[in-house]
Structure 1
Amino acid sequence: MGPEGASRALVMSDVAARAGVSHQTVSRVINGHRNVAPGTRERVEQAIRELGYRPNTAARALVTGSTRTLGFVTVNINQYGPGQTLVGLERAARAAGYSLSVTVLDEATADAMRDAVDRFVAQSVDAVLALATYDDAAEALHAVDTPLPLVTVQSGGALEEPAVGVDQVAGARLATRHLLDLGHRTVHHVTGPADSQESRDRVEGWRAELVAAGAAVPVCVHGDWTPSSGHRAGRLLATRRREGEEVTAVFVANDQMAMGLLAAFHEEGLEAPRDVSVVGFDDLPEAPYLTPPLTTVRQDFAELGHRAVQLVLARLAGRELRLQPVPPVLLVRSSSGPVPVVSMPAGV
C-alpha cells in the first residue's frame, strides 16, 4: 500500500515527502554520498524503514551506470581461510552499500575464469574480486582480459593486479619467534600444499626466522590443509623423535592440520606442551577449546574484506591506492611452553 493507502509501488518521492527533504537528498542517501548531514540522513533512513521502501536497482543502474554489485570468483571455498575471506568481503561490501555476486569454480582454468568474468560483465557488476591463493587461479587470472576493475585477494603479492592480503610471512615469523623465545633450539614445520602461495609464504617466514636466529632448519613435513594430513605429520614427527631427532616445537601451517597433529601426538604418548609445543595458523573458532587450547596466528578477515572493498572503490573512482598487508596477531594459549627439561639418570 502507498502512503495514502493507494495500491501502487512506492517511489523515491514518497520517501522524500515522509522525511521532509528533496528527491535529490533521498537519492544521495541511497547512493551513499557523504555530503548529507547526519540528522538528515537519519530522517531519510527512518522514512525508508517506516515505508518499507526498496530502491529500484535496475532504474538506478540506468541513471548512475552502477549496479552497486561486486563480483567475487574463487575456486576452493571449503577451507576455513577462504570461507572467512568470503564472509569478510560480503560484510564489507554490504557496509559500503554494495551486494556481492559469488561464483565458485570447479577448476581454476583460464576458460573457467574467463567464463566467470564474462558472466559478471553480463550482470553489469561494477568490479571483480578474485581469490588467488593457488597457482592455477593466479595463472588463470593472468590469462583473462577483463574490462572491469580487478582486485585479487590473498595472492601473496604474486600478481600484477592490485591486491590485498594478510602478511603470511610475518605471521609465520611470529609463530617461529614465539617458540624460539621459549627456549626451543629449532622449530619443525608442517606445510600446506606446494601450489598454495599462502603455504609458501609461511614456509618463507618460518625459514627466515630460524636463519635470523642462527637455528638449524629441519626438513619440512608436507600437508594439504586437512586434519588427516596433520595426523600423518604428527606420526612422522613422533617417529623422528623416537629415532633421536630433537623435536620439541612444531609450527603447523593451519589449525586444521594442528588438530590432527595433536591427536597423533596423543596416540604416540606425547602431550603438548609437556613434550612438544605446537603453534597453528588461522585461529579456528574451535582453537580455544582444543586440549590443550591451541596457540595460533590469527588472520583478521574482517579487515581484509574492508581493505579489499576500499581498493575496489578507489579503482572505481580512478584513484591509485596502495595498501599494506593486514598484520597477523599471535594468540598465545596452552599448547606452547618452555622446552622440556630432560631428567638425567642418577649418578651421571
Structure 2
Amino acid sequence: MCSYDTIENVSFYVEATSALLGVGGALCIIVSYLSYKNLRTFYFRILFYISITDGLKGAIFFIPANLLKITEICIISAVTTNYMTMASSIWTLLISVIIYQATANSSVKVEKYIRNWSIFVFCIMPFFYLLPLSTNSFGLIDINCTFKENIDGNLWRLGLFYIPGWIMIFISFYAYNKVFKSSNLELVDESTKTLLKKVTLYPLVIIILFTLLSILRILMITIPESCALEYFSTAVMGIYAAHGFWNAMIFFTTPSVQILICKRKMSFSSGKSSVTYSSQASSGSNINLLDCPSLLIKESISLKDYHKY
C-alpha cells in the first residue's frame, strides 16, 4: 500500500471525509446563530465569522487532485486555504483580546473592534495572500495546493502562515493567562467562568493544528519521504480539514447553547438566565461577559468601572 496512486486515493478520501465533518460543523454553527436571536452576542458573532472561514476552507478539500492540476483552480485553492486559516485564527484572537480588555480595567468597544477587524480581515488581508503570485509560488504538492517547495515558496509559507499563526497563538495564550489570573475575575459568576473556559478551547484547537502542521513541515524537511510520513501527512491534513467540526464540538457543549437549543426557558433580559440586568443592578458582583448583553459589552465599560455602580 505504498504506491503513489494508493496514497493519493487514501489521502483524498480521508481529507474529503474530514472536510465534510468540518463543513457540516461550521454550517451547524452558522444555522444556529441565524436561528436563535439570543445567540447574537459578540462572542457568538465572532464565532459565526470563524465558521464561515472554516466552511470555505473545508470545501476546498472536496476538489479532486486531477482538477487541482489546472493552474487557476490550484491557485484559488492555495489562496483560499491559507487565507481562511489565518482569518479564522485572527477572529479567534479577537475573542481573547476583547475578554482581556474587559478584565484589564480598560474600555471595551466591541463594535469598534469587530468593525476594524472586519475591514482588515475581509478587505486588506486577502491582498497579502495574493502576493505569492508575483513569484509564482503556489503549486500542487501531493494532492493539496499550497506554497511551492522552493526558497520563495518557503519564505512565503513562513511569512504568511507559520510566523503570524504562532504569533497569534502566543498573544491568545498571554491574554487568557492574564484573564484567569486577574483578581477581577472574582466578580464574574460561575456560569460565565465556565463559558470562559470553553472559549479558551478555540485557540487550543488552533494550537493543536499549528503544532501538527509544524511537526509535519519539520519532518518533511529533515527526513526522506516514506510511506509512514505520507500517511502521517494524510492524518494531519484530515485533522486540519475538520477544523469546523472541532469548533462545533465546543460550541454545542457550551451550556448556554445547550439550554437554548433544548428550548428551555432562557431570557437574558428578564432575569431568568444565570446573570441578568436585575442581578447586576442589585449587587454589581455578577457580570456575564459573554452570555448576556451586559453593560460591559453594550456600554463599553470595564469591570472596575461597573463595580462602582
With the length of structure 1 as denominator, give the TM-score of the two structures.
Answer: 0.27
With the length of structure 2 as denominator, give the TM-score of the two structures.
Answer: 0.29
Larger strand percent: 1
Answer with 1 or 2: which has the greater Rg: 1
Larger helix percent: 2
